[in-house]
Amino acid sequence: MGRKLWIVLISLVAFCSGCQELRFQLSKEPGYGAITGRVLDVEGKPLGNAEVAVEPSFFGLTRIHKTNAEGEFLLTRVRLGKVMVLASKVEDGYPDVRSALFVTDLKAFPTVTVEEGKITRNVVVRLAKGGKLVGSIKDSKNGLPVISSRIHLYRLDMPVGGDLSTDPDEQGHFEFALPPRPFRMEVTAPGYKEWTSQVIQLPSGSTKELTISLDPVKAN
């Protein structure tokens, strides 16, 4: 009878969206701990749907968790020892600080100690907005998206580790949340001339839109 009751309890917890902490307590794994807390903006308002992660992660594999509407999160299977809790919400202009390129001040993020089988509670992560850089990359002749293009972003005040290379989406669109620091952007693509921006430095809360037209290289 006791075994059946235990199985029923575990089944109920698995389907209960509000029972994450209980689920962690019932499924403790050796070598892990957990962290709970909230993500807030600089005014103390909760940020729902923000991405939360810890560094350092296990074997370089970063697990991303999302906050609920109240900005609350539960990170499970967290490595033991001291970790830094990072958060971002690029679509609302909060930079993705998992890349050093977008960090203004790492000291602003909490460092906590995780113990085996225990939950580290009441961790608060406060985020400051950057500026949003959005745009599209097109062929200057036919206006079609150049999906083979490659975006190179350089942070000019960071000589070491201050660069990032990525692709646009299938429509040639891109979006970055940048801290208020100087950047330069280059776009390359096979069969096209290289495009280079002027210095880009966006005030917090601002949005800059770019339509990048790439000129095809003339055949000899």
Q: What is the pLDDT of residue 101?
A: 84
Residue 20: CB atoms within 10 Å: 17
Count Cβ atoms within 10 A of the Cβ of residue 6 and give its class: 0-12 exposed, 13-18 middle, 19 or more buried: exposed
Residue 202: CB atoms within 10 Å: 21
Q: What is the pLDDT of residue 11?
A: 45
For residues 200 and 101, the answer to whether their CB atoms sit within 8 Å is: no
Give the mean pLDDT of 17-40.
70
pLDDT 10s digits, 128-164: 999 999 999 999 999 999 999 999 999 999 877 678 8
- pLDDT grade, residue 86 (50/70/90)? very high
Q: Does the structure show a pLDDT above 60 at 21?
A: no
- pLDDT grade, residue 104 (50/70/90)? confident
Is the pLDDT higher at 70 or at 159? 70
**pLDDT averaged over every residue in the chain:** 85
How does DSSP assign 10-22, residue by residue? Answer: HHHHHT-TT-HHH
Q: Does the structure show a pLDDT above 70 at 187?
A: yes
How does DSSP assign 66-115, residue by residue? Answer: E--TTSEEEEEEEPSEEEEEEEEBGGGTB--TTSGGG-S-GGGS-EEEE-
Q: What is the pLDDT of residue 107?
A: 81
pLDDT 10s digits, 93-102: 999 888 888 8
CA 117, 123, 128: angle at the middle one, nearest 5?
Answer: 145
- Domains present along the chain, CATH in parentheses: 34-127 (2.60.40.1120), 131-214 (2.60.40.1120)
Give the mean pLDDT of 36-48.
95
Q: Does the structure show a pLDDT above 90 at 13?
A: no
For residues 192 and 146, the answer to whether their CB atoms sit within 8 Å is: yes
